Structure 1
Amino acid sequence: MNKKTVMFVLATLMLVSVLYPLTVNAAPASPKVVFTFGGLNERSGVLFVAKDAGIFQKHGLDAQVVNVRSGPVGMAAIASGETQFHVGSATGASIGAMAGGLDLVFIAGLINKLDGTFV
């Protein structure tokens, strides 16, 4: 090999050895998570508190909070894959969606009582 080729190979190896650690140590992109809610109430308030306080970012989530018209719209968003979480109660929309075959999981209940009446 001539001297020019050897210098080119050495320069390329040096450049790669300098730049490679920068790509390995780069922070991975935060996973995008979409939360939907059907109404402004005490259940959906926790989403705004968590977003404004930076709790989602602290735990490595790029969270988006989206208001939808109602529970059935939230269930449709979950079924289509547009959202990962819907903040709501165990109402006809969510129970009906599960009865229809949608794979839903309730994580927590913020209101641990029936919020309706029996007639």
Structure 2
Amino acid sequence: MPAYAPPGWPRAVRPPDAPDWEATAAAWLLDLCPPDYRRYAGLRRHVVVLARFAALHVEAGQAAVRRGLSEARADLREVASPEVVEAAVQTFQLEEARLLAVRREVGLVEEALRGRRFVARL
């Protein structure tokens, strides 16, 4: 059976069971994490652990964006024009949507690293 990546799979990661797919997953996951994570050999050696770290990091970003979005108008109205505040709100909304997609991608990669294989459906 050929390697298959489900909808929502990150473009930078080869499908599960393709040659070097775990290496591409590790590189992509490290790119999502803070640069200091590259210093930890255990994360590079154990990609499934790295995936868990990446998932938690993305979730923290999601929480920060939700907080920023909920507080932006009140926090910024004294220091920025209404147009700038609305632009900041729109930026938070765009980032919220991006992080939602990234979290799904990380989840799919983590599932595959834990042994799940995806099957194409017609």
**TM-score tier (shorter):** under 0.3
Write 1 or 2 for the structure with the bigger share of helix: 2
Larger CA Rg, structure 1 vs 2: 1
**Which structure shows the bigger proportion of residues in strand conformation?**
1
